[in-house]
Amino acid sequence: MSPWPIAELLPHAGDMILIDEVLSFDEDSVQTRLRVRPGGLFSQADGSLPAWVGVELMAQSVAAYAGCRARQAGNPVQLGFLLGTRSYQCNVERFPAGSELHIRALRSLQDDNGMGVFECHLDGPGIHAEARLNVFCPPQVDSYLQEQPQEPDS
């Protein structure tokens, strides 16, 4: 289990934090957990979550991985970006209220410019989803956000 509360690992706030905790992390991977609860930001009328939210759960797990690594090194948590996913596959249409979901994210590629690829799996009772997430965490995120677009050549 992570020594840090989840809110200290993610650059999210309030209801946008969807995962409950980090179960474990190491140099290349993270495992997280959540219990699907009614009344959440993306909850349907019956308290379930639509299966497409699985991509966000995976992305938040990757963000928690980055947050754990930053905290471990004594650095602040940085903002990152989900660039996309390839072939998100899920065997259900929704995650029922009360379901406990476990997400695993394994880093398969990361370069010095902040680009990364993570193999992700989400499992629960009768539930399996998987995807490869492409993420970007620029080394100097503040200056990256302040950059002005270049004018096209005339």
Which residue segment(s) compose the domain that 23 sits in?
A: 6-144
Q: For 57-110, how does the pLDDT look when each residue is reduced to its tens digit (9 = 90+)?
A: 999 999 999 999 999 999 988 888 899 998 899 999 999 999 999 999 999 987
Give a yes or no: residue 53 inside a domain: yes
How far is it, in rounded angstroms, from Cα 24 to Cα 2?
6
Give a yes or no: residue 154 inside a domain: no
Give a yes or no: residue 152 inside a domain: no
Closest CA to 103 of 153, 11, 35: 35
> How many independent structural domains does the chain possess?
1
Residue 119 reports pLDDT greater than 70: yes
Give a yes or no: residue 23 inside a domain: yes
Helix (H, G, I), strand (E, B) or coil at 82: strand
Residue 3 reports pLDDT greater than 60: yes
Give the chain's length.
Answer: 154
Give a yes or no: residue 126 inside a domain: yes
Question: What pLDDT sits at residue 149?
Answer: 66
Q: For 121-147, how does the pLDDT look when each residue is reduced to its tens digit (9 = 90+)?
A: 999 999 999 999 999 888 766 555 565
Give a yes or no: residue 49 inside a domain: yes
Give a yes or no: residue 121 inside a domain: yes
Considering the chain, what percentage of its residues have pLDDT values greater than 90? 64
Query: What CATH number has the domain bearing residue 108?
Result: 3.10.129.10
Considering the chain, what percentage of its residues have pLDDT values greater than 70? 92
Give a yes or no: residue 150 inside a domain: no
pTM above 0.85, yes or no: yes
